[in-house]
Structure 1
Amino acid sequence: MVSFHSLLAPITTLFLAILFNVSNAQLNATFYSTTCPNVSSIVQTVIQQALQSDPRIGASLIRLHFHDCFVDGCDGSILLDNNGTLRSEKDAAPNTNSARGFDVVDNIKTAVENSCPGVVSCADILALAAESAVSLAGGPSWNVLLGRRDSRTANQAGANTSIPSPFESLSNITAKFSAVGLNITDLVALSGAHTFGRAQCRFITNRLYNFSGTGNPDPTLNTTYLATLRQNCPQNGNGSTLNNLDFTTPNTFDNNYFSNLQNNEGLLQSDQELFSTSGAATISIVNTFSSSQTTFFQNFVQSMINMGNISPLTGTNGEIRLDCKKVN
């Protein structure tokens, strides 16, 4: 006769295995509490130094985290350079000549390695850097969930197709967010990161002079704002000239971005469409975030956590890169 205990043993083993896999895949805020307890302050110190000479760096760092997570999850793949077999995501259309801050990531990694060698992943450094960038600019701070590991591969083709573009319709961008498990509240909240940082003229000249091939400017653009942008971005001018994403408080993390949208003063087409797309569910969210910075901050934090949870490598998957630019 089979004993009750012999039946129970494999079930218990199975339950423990499931429990281990679940806990193994979960990121948590205390992941480095014993192995690298000062990691957050190390990251923040390096970014503070970088901000002294480059007020854009915070926005650039959060963009790296965003562009990393949308391609095969938050795995540090955006940081890898080309090698004989690997085609770098840095050369994908959404990143080439616009993604920046890689040198600061390297400086952070060096400082972290000096303190706790071989412990902290580059993917986690991007997540920590994004939080520091926001809090240092006057935005909210939060406990970053950690425990990601670094990929050994990159996906240039995926970067070309998965990362939302400033020229895309709201429906296309919504679909790209949905593909990685993010909803429209996440879309509007994360777009609010455009409350600081800059964008090059080449991303807006079509809105200023030949929107959708009409030969006219984007009709949703506030005419006074249009005139200002045309001064900074003349037709056939320098496409790399910079424009503040939020012209009111360009280096401060606040909710003015949403008020700008209400005034038809969103810089990128993808920004303005959140408010100007007729009947869109995003309009009421823009209005809510514009009327309450606290509500925006709370939603932004949750959406950053949601984004940071996209398909992380954990446990024994991936590696802890010693140099963020190349696999070990």
Structure 2
Amino acid sequence: IEIININVSLSCVTLGGHTIGTSACQFFSYRLYNYSNTGAPDPAIDPAFLPQLQSLCPQNGDGSKRIALDTGSVGKFDTSFFTNLGNGRGILESDQKLWTDASTKTYVQRYLGLRGLLGLAFDVEFGKAMVKMGNIELKTGTNGEIRKVCSKIN
């Protein structure tokens, strides 16, 4: 997988990094009940999926409850994460933006094989990306920092 770090809604996103994993309700429940202070859910969420998410993360419920990010195949390393995005079933807003943002949608489509011969094999590309990341040199001292919010300097 090509590692693409993009700044979407003050979040750094690694394309495909959430095919396995969970998130606490507190990090996305605003999308279910009061998106952008509208008092309504995020319109990007599939309306058929919304009641399921709301039952898993009830309003004023336990914000620490963890929900799978890839509801299509929990614990499986596959491409259903990308299918979820295409169906409006991305749990995190930053993940869903990978489908709704024109600059990244093409990559998602390529992992789904929707671009003809340009389709990519997710497992092969992910392996290549891990090798690339392993070759990134460690920055020390004043040459780098660990950011609390990746799009902002501490």
What's the TM-score, normalizing by structure 1? Answer: 0.37
Q: Work out which of the residue numbers 226, 231, 239 in structure 1 matches 2:55.
A: 231
Residue 245 of structure 1: aligned partner = 69
Describe the superposition over 1:100-124 as per-residue Cα deviations: whole angstroms up to 9, x where unpaired. xxxxxxxxxxxxxxxxxxxxxxxxx
Q: Which amino acid aligns with 1:259?
A: T
2: CA distance, partners of 1:230 / 1:211: 13
Q: 1:294 to 1:282 in 2, by over 3 A?
A: closer
Between Structure 1 and Structure 2, the one with more strand by share is 2
Q: Which of 262, 274, 277 is the equivalent residue of 2:86?
A: 262
**In 1: Cα distance, 2:33 partner to 2:113 partner:** 32
Return 5+ residue gaps in structure 2 as ranges. Answer: 140-154
Q: Which residue of 2 aligns with 1:301?
A: 127
The Cα of 1:210 is off from its aligned counterpart by: 1.1
1:287 aligned to 2:106?
no
SS at match of 2:122: helix
Determine helix, strand or coil for the equivalent of 1:281: helix
Query: Alpha-carbon deviation of 1:294?
Result: 5.8
Are 1:193 and 1:253, in contact at CA under 8 Å, matched by a contact in 2?
A: no
After superposition, what is the alpha-carbon deviation per residue over 1:9-29, rounded to whole angstroms, capped at 9, x for unaligned?
xxxxxxxxxxxxxxxxxxxxx
Q: Deviations over 1:63-122 (max 9, x none)?
A: xxxxxxxxxxxxxxxxxxxxxxxxxxxxxxxxxxxxxxxxxxxxxxxxxxxxxxxxxxxx
Structure 1 gaps of 5+ residues are: 1-162, 178-186, 314-328
Deviation (angstroms), 1:312: 2.7
| Corresponding position of 2:8 | 169
| Amino acid corresponding to residue 105 of structure 2 in structure 1 | I
SS of aligned partner of 2:48: helix
* CA root-mean-square deviation: 2.4
The structure where helix makes up a greater share of residues is 1
- Displacement, 1:305? 2.1
Larger Rg: 1
- Cα shift at 1:281: 1.8
What is the CA–CA distance in structure 1 between the aligned matches of 2:42 and 2:132, rounded to whole Å?
Answer: 33
Identity rate of aligned residues, in percent?
37
Contact kept, 8 Å, 1:265 with 1:272, in 2: the verdict is: yes
Amino acid at match of 1:215: G
Counterpart Cα distance in 2 of 1:307 and 1:276: 26
One-letter identity of the residue aligned with 2:107: I
TM-score (norm 2): 0.75
Alpha-carbon shift at residue 195 of structure 1 (Å): 1.3
> Given residue 287 of structure 1, which amino acid in structure 2 is its aligned partner?
Q
CA contact (8 A) 2:25 2:65 kept: yes
Please state whether the residue corresponding to 2:125 is helix, strand or coil: helix
Dislocated runs of 4+, deviation >4 Å = none
The residue that corresponds to 1:199 in the other structure is 23
Q: Does the 8 Å contact 2:113/2:120 carry over to 1?
A: no
Count matched residues: 131
